[in-house]
Structure 1
Amino acid sequence: MPTSNILASVFGRSPIGPIQKHISTVYKCALQLEPFFQAVFAEEWETACEVQQTITKFEHEADAIKRSIRRSLPKSLFLPVPRTDLLEIVTVQDKVANRAKDIAGLVVGRKMVIPESMHEAFITYVRLSIATTAQALKAIHELDELLETGFQGREVDLVEKMVEELDNIESETDKDQVKIRRMLFDLEQTLPPVDVMFLYQIIEWVGDLADRASRVGSYLQLLLAR
């Protein structure tokens, strides 16, 4: 009998499904950042506020799933992987949703205007950051297969390649962050200093979103190494 079925027979259900549901909800948060920034570029603040509220709704859903996992995850030694490792993965996943909410909240709260000359490069940067979350989602959805194979064989190789690709996407996001920061630096003298300060903060947070998603892959690598 596959490991996940054994676990379900002992505890009623595998903890992996809720963890996968959690990152799916986290991804929904990140995915909304593209239409959010498109609305911001057009200074359509009513639309931007609606998207921000959607992000907040998904972030609250992710929080609820996280709390449910923490309450229901068995403390028994019969878990095929350490309980603490699974809880760490959920915590790292949740930080992605938190950062997406932070980004949207700050931009809407200050009605931040992003210089038009930066729009194309900036939305590419946002898409790369979202792509890291998409890749983390893809990798986590292999976790049940890893359990069934006992963390051995071709499934391990597949997940390792997914994590490697996740790292590659995050590295590309880092390069884009340098590019965007340089563009803003060149415009600093034409913008109010306070606006510049908060724009740098948003640039940092978009990169941080990607970094947090890449940490999901790092925790998966720890599981593979055990």
Structure 2
Amino acid sequence: MPTSNILASVFGRSPIGPIQKHITTVHQCASQLDPFFQAVFAEEWERVYDLQQKIIKLENEADAIKRSIRLSLPKSLFLPVPRTDLLEIVTGQDKVANRAKDIAGLMFGRKMVIPESMQDVFITYVRRSIATSAQALKAIHELDELLETGFQGREVERVVKMVEELDDIESETDRDQVKVRRMLFALEQKLPPVDVIFLYKIIEWVGDLADRAARVGSHLQLLLAR
């Protein structure tokens, strides 16, 4: 057996590349919510459908990558991080894409309309939630650098700062959620009660997407602390 194959059998293939590919696909999925809601605002339902299908496709791709990582990640992997921690990061990442798919599915399935007076504040809220996913992506793409430095030195400080910035963005998303909910509360009497219920659900899920992205950062921070 060639030396390279012997080493591969002992040390295993690094899962960092696939984990980074996974978060890239997850973020692509979440990012589609921006054009998706723009199409919802315009009530362009064919485009809404096309974007929902794109979100579903990306979520399915993320699922496939997640399954591949779980099946191929060897228990004997020689890395300075526990295998379970890496799997938790992948699971956390995957939940971001799942929530994006949930949002798009409910919005299109009910052909929900966002009141015009709420749209500017709402799209700011959506974009801030997507920004948490972008920051999680940025942090996870530092994993290979962390490995090279043995999870020590300035690279650790750099990633810790990224995670802190991720938490700050998520906190801003919480404030945006309060604004959007207040606007909806003021309009409740003018809207069908069932529509109001589902609009509150969408508002909650957009915030949950940000929470899930922030948890990816939390998992990474715990990994750094070990």
TM-score, structure 2 as length reference: 0.95
- The Cα of 1:12 is off from its aligned counterpart by 5.4
SS of match in other structure, 2:68: helix
Aligned to 1:178: 178
Aligned CA-pair RMSD: 1.2
CA distance in 2, matches of 1:135, 1:9: 34
Does structure 1 residue 70 correspond to structure 2 residue 70? Answer: yes
CA distance in 1, matches of 2:161, 2:81: 21
Aligned to 2:4: none
Q: Which runs of 5+ in 1 are unaligned?
A: 1-6
Residue identity opposite 2:63 in structure 1: D
Does structure 1 residue 38 correspond to structure 2 residue 45? Answer: no
Which ranges of 4 or more aligned residues in structure 1 deviate by more than 4 Å? 7-12
Q: How does 1:22-101 map to 2 (within 5 A)?
A: 22-76=22-76, 78-101=78-101
Residue identity opposite 2:209 in structure 1: L
Deviations 1:169-222 (A, max 9, x none): 000000000000000000000000000000000000000000000000000110
CA distance in 2, matches of 1:39, 1:11: 48
Aligned to 2:206: 206
Residues 79 and 138 from structure 1, CA distance in 2 versus in 1: closer, same or farther, beyond 3 angstroms?
A: same
Residue identity opposite 2:53 in structure 1: Q
- The Cα of 1:9 is off from its aligned counterpart by 7.9
Contact kept in structure 2, 1:25 and 1:62, CA below 8 Å:
yes
Deviations 1:104-156 (A, max 9, x none): 00000000011000000000000000000000000000011111111100000
SS of match in other structure, 1:114: coil
Give aligned-pair identity as a percent.
Answer: 84
CA distance in 1, matches of 2:30, 2:64: 17
Contact kept in structure 2, 1:22 and 1:65, CA below 8 Å:
yes
CA distance in 1, matches of 2:77, 2:202: 43
TM-score, structure 1 as length reference: 0.95
CA distance in 2, matches of 1:77, 1:9: 9
CA distance in 2, matches of 1:165, 1:182: 26
Contact kept in structure 1, 2:12 and 2:77, CA below 8 Å:
no
CA distance in 1, matches of 2:25, 2:11: 24
Contact kept in structure 1, 2:125 and 2:173, CA below 8 Å:
yes
Does structure 1 residue 194 correspond to structure 2 residue 163? Answer: no
CA distance in 2, matches of 1:217, 1:10: 30
- The Cα of 1:74 is off from its aligned counterpart by 1.0
CA distance in 2, matches of 1:64, 1:8: 23
- The Cα of 1:14 is off from its aligned counterpart by 1.1
Residue identity opposite 1:150 in structure 2: G
Q: Which runs of 5+ in 2 are unaligned?
A: 1-6
Does structure 1 residue 142 correspond to structure 2 residue 150? Answer: no
- The Cα of 1:79 is off from its aligned counterpart by 2.8
Residue identity opposite 1:165 in structure 2: E
- The Cα of 1:78 is off from its aligned counterpart by 2.1
CA distance in 2, matches of 1:92, 1:215: 7
